[in-house]
Structure 1
C-alpha cells in the first residue's frame, strides 16, 4: 500500500485529529506506544548514539540533470523526491543602514519545489511564492503532505506556509506569518507546525490555521539550521552549518570555514538534546550539511541524504548518501 494512502489516525488530542481531518485526513497525532516503534523514533535513538568518532561513509551519488539553482530542503516519499530551491533573478543589496525595518532590498526571484522520481528525473516544477516572498526553505513530509515555507530573502520580513499533497501535488496556501521562516516541521504529537527564522535564532509554533501558540529563542549557537525533520515524541532533527571567519596569514586573502553539524531538539522543552559536528566535504568544496538534509534508520544503520552543492559550483547538484553504523542505547 502506498504511504500517501496510508493515513492512519493515531490516538491523541482530539483537536489534533480534527485539524488533520480539516486538511484532508493527514495523520498528525500518534499514540506513544506506536511512536516508539516508528521510523522517527529509530532515527532519534540512532542519532543519540552518533559522536565525533562516528565513521560516515559516502555510499551513493545521484546526479540531477536539470538546473536546481540554490537548493534548500529535501523530502522523500514512496514515489517522489521533493527538492525546494530559490532561483535568484536580482540579488538583494544591503542598505548602509536599516530602512523601514529591513537591512537590505527585497531582490527578485522565483521559488521552486522540484518533484522527481526516485531516479532523480524531474517530473514537475511547482512554482511557489508571491511578490517578494520567493525563498523556499527547509521542508518536511508528514506522511501525506509536504510542508514548505516561502519567505522574503531578508530577515524580519514575511513568509507563506504551503501544504503540498504528496500524491496529487495539489498546492494549498496554509497561512502567512510575519518574519522570515527558513524551515518547518509538523509535530505529529500535537498536530502543530514549528518553524525557525533567519539563522534559526528563533522558533515559533502555530496551529494549522496559523495562530501563533508559542515562540522561543534558540538556546544554542553551534550552527544555523538549514533543513529539519520530525524525529518522534515532539522532537526535531536539524542539520546546517556556521560560516566561521578565518584569520588569514599575512598578506593572504580572508576566508570562511564551514562548520557543519546536526542537532536533535526537543520541541516541548526547547532544549538541544544532542548535537555533533559533521565534516564531510563535497566536490564543490562545501560541507555536506550545507543545504538539504534528511536521515533514516534501519536497525543500527543510519542513512543521511544531502544536496549541498548547487549548479553555480560548476559540478551540478548531486544528492549524496552517507551511511554510518551506530549502537543506540535502547
Structure 2
C-alpha cells in the first residue's frame, strides 16, 4: 500500500524539553518517546526518554564508548533498547548496545567492523544497515553475525 504524504494530516506537534542536538533515531513505547542524538561539537552521543504526553525529558544517558559516540536509529523490545553507537565516519566501527529500559544501564554489547547507522529487531534477529545503508547485516541477539549483503534498493535508511 502506498501512502502519499500530501494525504496525511498532522495530528499534533510535541515540543521536547531541552536540547536534542542532531536526532538520529526515534521510537515510541507506551507512554515514552525515546530519542538517540549526537552532539558532534562535544563528541557525545545521547539517549533521551521523554513523556509522549507532555514532551518532558524524563531520563538521559550518554552513549559513547571511546571514539564511538554517534548513535543511530534503534529499536526496542519488551525490556531492552538496542542501539548502534559508531565512530563519526563511514566505514569505521560500531558497538551494538543492549540497554535496560528500566535502568538505562548497559546489559551487553558487541562490536562490528563497520559504521552501523540503523538497527531493528525482526524475527528474533537484529538487522542493521551501515552508513547510507549500502550493506545490510543480520546478527543473533548475542552478536553472532549471520550474513551481510548489499542493499538491493537505492534507499539510504537512517532509521528502520
Runs of 4+ in 1 over 6 A off after TM superposition: none
Aligned to 1:216: 149
What SS does structure 2 have at the residue aligned with 1:226? coil
Distance 1:179 1:117 in 2: 33
| 8 Å contact kept, 2:136–2:150 | yes
TM-score (norm 1): 0.46
Aligned to 2:136: 203
Aligned to 2:127: 194
> Which of residues 80, 85, 96 in structure 1 aligns to 2:32?
80
**Structure 1 residues 54 and 153: CA distance shift in structure 2, 3 A:** same
TM-score (norm 2): 0.92
State which drifts further: 73-82 or 146-155.
Answer: 73-82
1:9-158 matched pairs, under 5 angstroms: 49-52=1-4, 55-89=7-41, 109-118=43-52, 119-158=54-93
Cα RMSD (Å): 1.6
Shift, 1:163, TM fit: 1.1
Distance 1:80 1:52 in 2: 27
In the alignment, structure 1 residue 178 sits paired with structure 2 residue 110: no
* Higher-Rg member (1/2): 1
Identify the structure with the greater helix proportion. Answer: 1
Distance 2:109 2:47 in 1: 16
1:211-250 matched pairs, under 5 angstroms: 211-221=144-154, 223-228=155-160
**Structure 1 residues 53 and 117: CA distance shift in structure 2, 3 A:** closer
**Structure 1 residues 144 and 54: CA distance shift in structure 2, 3 A:** farther
**Structure 1 residues 177 and 53: CA distance shift in structure 2, 3 A:** closer
| 8 Å contact kept, 1:201–1:218 | yes
Aligned to 1:160: 95
Distance 1:79 1:126 in 2: 19
Shift, 1:143, TM fit: 2.6
Distance 2:135 2:144 in 1: 17
What SS does structure 2 have at the residue aligned with 1:199? helix
What SS does structure 2 have at the residue aligned with 1:183? strand
Shift, 1:53, TM fit: 7.7
| 8 Å contact kept, 2:69–2:86 | yes
**Structure 1 residues 53 and 179: CA distance shift in structure 2, 3 A:** closer
What SS does structure 1 have at the residue aligned with 2:14? strand
| 8 Å contact kept, 1:164–1:171 | yes
Where in structure 2 are there 5+ consecutive unaligned residues? Answer: none
